[in-house]
Every structure is written in C-alpha cells, then in structure tokens.
Amino acid sequence: MVPDLDVERVYGIRTFWDLEQNQGKHTDEEWQEAMAELDMRVSQIDAFRRIAFFHHLILINNHREEIEAENPYMKEAISEALEGIYNGHGGPFGCVIVKDGRIVGRGHNRVLSIIDSTAHGEISAIRDAEKALGTHDLSGCELYTTGEPCPMCLNAILWANIEKVYYGCTISDNAGIGFRDEKFDQLSGGREAFSDFLICIDRKACQKLFEVYNSLEHVIY
Ligand SMILES: [Zn+2]
C-alpha cells in the first residue's frame, strides 16, 4: 500500500498522456517510459484496490467510447465527469481549462465527497489551473465543461479572466436531471448578455453522460 498514491491521479495522468500522445507531443520512447512509470505505480496499489481500479477503468472506458464527443477537450471534461460519477463524488460535471492548446487544469464536481456545496467542476478546475500556473489570472485560457455553468461558476470564471466557455448540456438539461441551476439563474437575472462568451458544443454527448448518471444510483442535492 502506498499511502500517497491516488488512483484518480494515476488515471488523470494517463488520460492527459493519451491526449498529448494523440497530438503527437511525445516520442514513442517518452510514451513507453511514462506508461512504465504508471504501471509501476499501479503495481504498488494493494490487490483489492488494484481490482477496483481496473474495474473502474473498464467502466469509464466503456462509457468514454459510448459517449462520443467530437471536441478533444470536451472528451476530457467528460472523462473527468465519469471519474466523479464512479467515485460518488457528486453530479455529472467535469471540466478542463486549456491554454495554448494544452490542458492546464482539470476537475469535477466533489460536492458530496468533500461536503462542500461550492465544489463544482468549474471551481475545482479553476483552482487546479491557478495552482499549476502560479497565478490567479487565467487570461488566455478557455474552459470546457459538461454542463452550462451555474451563476456561481459563471462569476468565478469571470473573476479568473477566462476568455471563453464551451459547455455541453444546457441549464435546462441540468434541471432535467434534478439540479437547481435554473432557479438560481433566474434570481441572478438570466444570462442573455453572455451569448458570445458561452458556447454550446457536443450537447448530444453530454446528454448521454447525463443519461449514464441518471441510470446509476445517485444523490440529488
Ligand atoms: Zn457551478
């Protein structure tokens, strides 16, 4: 048992390498070295966790294939969301932040797992990106999220100077699986002013993600 080994982290590194490999950013040698390192880390997990880990990977990979997003970054946001769903962390909301074609931050909804109503995917990804880049200013970054940002996240995105938001499911899709975004959106006066800032892409794929979430046992909050 390796106490500081985080299964999720290993999986995150793997998907990150997959993405970069698809973009031709690594030589075969670098790729093999990275995979050997990941295998080594996985082998350090005790047997029980290892079985759970691979079961988990199979489930996620099955759904990753089934949910066919076209945009590579939305694919990553969906992977984040699936990770959260299978771990029971919270709703089906995953997010990545991209700068100059590179993912600089990622996160998913953890409202249930860390008992924090503000732990939405976008907030988690913003924190991750700011930490990674060493700045609170995410100018030049774009954000990809599986669900249209709620008013809290939309404002956090604006505070962080993120330049564009691509979302999959709409606010009304969020409402369709029991989330209260619509109500909070009305309270804050709607979002008509953001049509150039909030762009809907891969909605069908994200709706499929929501279906997967809805078909599994889950807690509505
Ligand atoms: Zn939110």
Structure tokens at 220: 């509505």
Average pLDDT over residues 137-159: 97
Contact 106, 95 (CB under 8 A): yes
Give per-residue pLDDT as tens, 33-86: 877 877 777 777 666 666 666 666 666 677 777 788 999 999 999 999 988 888
pTM value?
0.74
Q: How confident is the model at residue 11 (pLDDT cuts 50, 70, 90)?
A: low
**pLDDT of the residue at 51:** 66
Give the pLDDT mean for 136-159: 97
In angstroms, rounded to a whole number, what is the distance separating the alpha carbons of residues 203 and 117?
25
CA of 148 to the centre of ligand 1 (A): 8
C-alpha dist (Å) from residue 120 to 36, 111, 116, 166: 33, 7, 9, 16
The set of residues, in sequence order, having a beta carbon less than 8 Å from that of 189 and lying 6+ positions away, is none
Neighbours of ion ligand 1 (CB under 5 A): 120, 150, 153
d(CA 181, CA 152): 10
Taking the centre of ligand 1 as the mean of its atom positions, its distance from the CA of residue 67, in whole angstroms, is 22
How many CB atoms sit inside 10 A of residue 186's CB?
A: 11
Tell me the CA–centroid distance for residue 147 and ligand 1, in Å. 9
Burial annotation 92-109 (CB, 10 A radius, 16+ → b, else e): bbbbbbbbeeebbbbbbb
Catalytic positions, written as ranges: 122
Chain center to CA of 153: 14
CA 18 to centroid of ligand 1, rounded, Å: 27
User: What token pair was written down for 161?
Assistant: 């100077």
pLDDT of 1 above 60 = no
Mean pLDDT, rounded, of the chain: 85
